[in-house]
Structure 1
Amino acid sequence: MERERVELVYELTAGDLRESFAAQVRHTVAGRLARLVPWAIAGFSALGCVLRAAGGELEAGDVVVTVALVALALFLPRWQLASACRRAARRGERRAVVDGGGLSVTDSRGGNALPWTKLTRFMETERLFVLLGRGGNCFVALPKRAAADQGALRALLERHTSAGGAAPSAAHAE
């Protein structure tokens, strides 16, 4: 008989967050857009600078704005990761319960329950199960190290959601 309830106790690490962000970028439209849009804006600004320079109308403000947009596109992922790490550190230890009704997570700041209707798919990475919503937004990353029985957790997730990304070949080795 398959288990219908899995409990996890963990603290998210910078590595966990980095891996969940990378999985979202690789496997979801929302993740790819989050990386592409800042670069597209910076690219259009740079193109505008080139066109203004060709017409002899380039001003210092044009260059400053373009450099700022390129810097934003370059450093935004690092800032997002640093912000997520600070939030995770403030929240401390998390307790997650995955069962037939969905996922509930409690930590030092309270709790949150998400039914399966909000968690439409998951991705499995080498060290995580990343649960996603309809738009591809990452709702929660569950570290495999926190699951006493990864197979039971995987089976529960597969039963209630759809797998959204290819798992590494070593992912199923426990």
Structure 2
Amino acid sequence: MSTWWLMQAARRAADARPEPEVTVDHDGVVLVDDGRCHLEPWDTFTGHIETERQFILLRAPGEPTVTLPKRTFPDAALVAECRRLLAERLPAR
């Protein structure tokens, strides 16, 4: 099996898996995946990066830990609210 084929198979498997439900609020980031709920408090993170398609929350030393795809937000107002909360709680990198 070629490396290319394995990469494509992994990408299809990742695309088929539903994304975890993510809630961002004043306490931190709540991830719900496979029925399990996990709170990541704000002090878990050291900063964030915003790209055109996602928010990336970082841990020391700059390791990505949580990715928040913007497509999972139902509308632009919620993307803006997430941006505001991130700016309020975490430094931009």
Please indicate, yes or no, whether the TM-score normalized by the shorter chain is above 0.5.
yes
Q: Shorter-chain TM-score category?
A: 0.7 to 0.9
What letter is aligned with 1:158?
A
Tell me by how many angstroms 1:129 deviates: 0.5
Q: Secondary structure at the match of 1:123?
A: strand
Structure with the bigger percentage of helix: 1
Kept in 2: contact 1:102–1:116 (CA 8 A): yes
Tell me, which stretches of 5 or more residues in structure 1 are unaligned? 1-74, 165-174
Tell me, which stretches of 5 or more residues in structure 2 are unaligned? none
What letter is aligned with 1:157?
L
Among 4, 24, 27, the alignment partner of 1:101 is 27
- The aligned counterpart of 1:141 is 67
Among 35, 47, 56, the alignment partner of 1:130 is 56
Distance 1:98 1:145 in 2: 15
Matched, 1:119 2:48: no
- The aligned counterpart of 2:86 is 157
Q: How many residues align?
A: 85
Deviations 1:78-115 (A, max 9, x none): 96xx768746744x232111011100111226232111
Kept in 2: contact 1:93–1:108 (CA 8 A): no
Quickly say closer, same or farther: Cα 1:109–1:134, change in 2 above 3 A: same
Quickly say closer, same or farther: Cα 1:85–1:154, change in 2 above 3 A: farther
Deviations 1:40-81 (A, max 9, x none): xxxxxxxxxxxxxxxxxxxxxxxxxxxxxxxxxxx8xx96xx
State the structure with bigger RCO (CA 8 A, min sep 6), 1 or 2: 1
Q: Secondary structure at the match of 2:43?
A: coil
Distance 2:49 2:82 in 1: 13
TM-score by length of structure 1 reads: 0.42
Percent of aligned pairs with the same residue? 33
